[in-house]
Amino acid sequence: MSSCWKKSNVVAGFAIIIIMSVITLSYFEKINFVSMLVHEMNIFSTPIPNTTVCKGIPAHNTITPLKDSRTFIIAPYFDNRKNKMTRVISIVHHKDVKELYCWFCNSSSGEIYISKAEIDVHSDRFDFPYGATDLKCLEPKDWEPRFVSIHWSPKGDIDQLPLFEIRNRDPEGSLVDFTVCISTMFGEYNNVLQFVQSMEMYKILGVGRVVIYKNSCSPLMQKVLDYYIAEGIVEIIPWPIDSYLKVSSYWHHSMDPKDIGYYGQITALNDCVYRNMYRSRYVLLNDMDEIILPGKYSDWKTMMQNLQEQHPDAGAFLFENHIFPKTVFTPTDMFNISSWSTVPGVNILSHVVREPDRKNVFNPRKIIIDPNKVVQTSVHSVLQMYGNSIEVPMDVALIYHCRVPQQVDLPRESLIKDTTLWRYNVSLIGNVNKVIQQIAV
């Protein structure tokens, strides 16, 4: 890598001298000239007059399509954990997109530095044509770009390219202990009671922030989200992915052959990891109907302190998924919750029996990560990281996952009663009541 850098610097310096001697060339001719060299050496720097200080079309949306309609940019993040680079979280067509360039702009001199992107399509694509992708661009060595454009060519008119601010250059925002990333709320989501209960459980367990990639939800759900936004806990990232791609509601292409799996869940998760890298000690990657429920400890902080002490090098902690079927009810007469009956959605306090493990059937896990150590994540495991992954035994914590049954024909006697959730009944019921009064259903 370092010899490659040196070589490119020498060539770049040589090229700059040539460019300076042909100052009569117009702007576009210069770019064209430069682009021929870029092909040869991947990285190139060229000074551009200050009249073009970071032009381009500022990107304001979460998903920005490029002109090729095969590349969708989510956000660039500064990442100097290994090389000094910008990692652009994006979605690309794994076959059609062969070449992309980062156009870094120096906002004081207007200098443009073009760097060929390494297109790293994540290995967990599950056969869909589009997948979560990192565009990895080495940055100029001697300055800190704050803006970048992405283009399929090293030549062109920068005025016409979308311009992105590079995030995480100066880590900002308040540091919390725990952030829950909810990838993709979709399908006019209206499971309000379960959502409120999950939120209140996260708060009891120690969450500081819940980031929700929102595709669609019901008006009542929106009211609940507004309540939590006002409270300062929830951050909504608009996720209109179905405006650009045909999305599947399933995780594998064979189940529903569309453009991308599960509303682009994996891309949202990776964006969430980088977005919270310097704002959260730990990040939980789970769905709205899942709660990482400690059995041994009363909250996540105590649990993670203990786990991290036992495994100082671990960057990912994997928790077993356990299904508590929403079709199997346990009476809750001892709780004063009759006022909840008007709220649409599942009441998790009624679902405290879980399906047993099956021999030879793998229990997928969900993850708590140290975002500083993670490079690429999937849904049930981390793909690339500094450090290692630990499988957390189920007596320490399990994922309380209340949903449709997986083992449909199981008789009730075969289910296991597990009332860990009820330990929190007093504070959970009190907190949920407050929210329900506020949203006045």
Ligand X SMILES: *[C@@H]1O[C@H](CO)[C@@H](O)[C@H](O)[C@H]1NC(C)=O
Query: Which residues lie near ligand X (CB under 6 A)?
Result: 50, 53, 106-109, 111, 142-146, 334, 336, 339, 419, 422, 425-426, 433
DSSP-assigned states of every residue in 247-276: BPSSSSGGGS-SSBSGGGHHHHHHHHHHHT
Is 314:396 a contact under the CB 8 Å cutoff?
A: no
CB nearer ligand X, residue 166 or residue 375: 166
Nearest to 329 by CA among 348, 357, 355, 356: 348
- The nearest distance, CB 79 to ligand X, in angstroms, is 17
Is 120:85 a contact under the CB 8 Å cutoff?
A: no
- The nearest distance, CB 157 to ligand X, in angstroms, is 19
- What torsion, rounded to 10 degrees, do the Cα atoms 285, 350, 236, 190 define? 130
Find how far residue 329's CA is from the centre of its chain.
34
Contacting residues for 291 by C-beta, under 8 A, at least 6 apart: 198, 201, 202, 205, 399, 400, 421
CB nearer ligand X, residue 146 or residue 366: 146
CB nearer ligand X, residue 145 or residue 162: 145
CB nearer ligand X, residue 333 or residue 409: 333
- The nearest distance, CB 38 to ligand X, in angstroms, is 19
Contacting residues for 25 by C-beta, under 8 A, at least 6 apart: 19, 33
Bridge partners of 86, per DSSP, are 78, 137
- The nearest distance, CB 102 to ligand X, in angstroms, is 14
Nearest to 49 by CA among 64, 28, 70: 28
Backbone angles phi, psi at 436, to 5 degrees: -65, -40
- The nearest distance, CB 123 to ligand X, in angstroms, is 34
- The nearest distance, CB 108 to ligand X, in angstroms, is 4
- The nearest distance, CB 159 to ligand X, in angstroms, is 15
- The nearest distance, CB 47 to ligand X, in angstroms, is 8
Backbone angles phi, psi at 39, to 5 degrees: -55, -35
CB nearer ligand X, residue 361 or residue 440: 440
- The nearest distance, CB 339 to ligand X, in angstroms, is 4
For residues 410 and 400, give the distance between their C-alpha atoms in angstroms, rounded to a whole number.
19
CB nearer ligand X, residue 296 or residue 434: 434
DSSP three-state, residue 335: coil
CB nearer ligand X, residue 55 or residue 365: 55
Alpha-carbon torsion 225, 226, 229, 233, what sign? negative
Is 257:349 a contact under the CB 8 Å cutoff?
A: no
- The nearest distance, CB 394 to ligand X, in angstroms, is 20
Parallel, antiparallel, or unpaired: how do β-strands 280-285 and 176-185 relate?
parallel
In the block, residue with structure tokens 């991290």: 308
Parallel, antiparallel, or unpaired: how do β-strands 314-325 and 397-403 relate?
parallel
CB nearer ligand X, residue 243 or residue 298: 298
CB nearer ligand X, residue 407 or residue 419: 419
Specify the DSSP class assigned to residue 117. P
CB nearer ligand X, residue 364 or residue 430: 430
CB nearer ligand X, residue 11 or residue 53: 53
- The nearest distance, CB 144 to ligand X, in angstroms, is 5
Burial of 164 (C-beta count, 10 Å sphere; 0-12/13-18/19+):
buried
Q: Cα–Cα distances in Å, from 369 out to 239, 338, 389, 396, 406?
A: 23, 38, 9, 16, 27
